[in-house]
């Protein structure tokens, strides 16, 4: 059995990688992928605490989270596709038309 600390450490690392991707990368697809990584980091936490405490409800939440992540990825990809069709780019520093 893997100790809880390692799992939490892995989760924290994933979160950091995801945050870096969201904040630093300009490509919209990469940002979307990074958001998936952050989500998976939290889902890993659910699973880790579930096995640690022997309670199955964490795994239920994990499955719900995966379903939400899939839906979110679908919506996000559709949005970026639409942006690409109208503006010809998905570089986030160029997509700045939602402002005053």
**Residues at the site binding another protein, with contacts judged by CB under 8 A:** 19, 22-23, 31, 92-93, 95-100
43 closest CA partner among 20, 69, 6, 19: 69
| Closest distance of CB 45 from another protein, Å | 15
| Closest distance of CB 42 from another protein, Å | 12
Q: Which is nearer to another protein, 25 or 50 (CB)?
A: 25
Q: Which is nearer to another protein, 69 or 95 (CB)?
A: 95
Q: Which is nearer to another protein, 23 or 56 (CB)?
A: 23
| Closest distance of CB 31 from another protein, Å | 8
DSSP secondary structure string for all residues of 32-76: HHHHHHHHHHHHHHHHHHHHHHT-THHHHHHHHHHHHHHHHHHHH
| Closest distance of CB 23 from another protein, Å | 6
| Residue 36 Cα distances to 51, 69, 99, angstroms | 22, 7, 26
Q: Are 51 and 42 in contact (CB under 8 A)?
A: no
């Amino acid at each position: 059995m893997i100790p809880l600390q390692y799992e939490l450490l892995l989760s924290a690392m994933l979160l950091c990688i995801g945050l870096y991707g969201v904040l630093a990368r300009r490509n919209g697809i990469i940002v979307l992928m990074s958001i998936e990584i952050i989500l998976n980091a939290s889902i890993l936490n659910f699973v880790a605490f579930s096995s640690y405490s022997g309670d199955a409800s964490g795994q239920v939440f994990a499955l719900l989270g995966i379903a939400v992540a899939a839906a979110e990825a679908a919506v996000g990809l559709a949005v970026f596709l639409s942006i690409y069709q109208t503006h010809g780019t998905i570089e986030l520093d160029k997509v700045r038309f939602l402002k005053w």
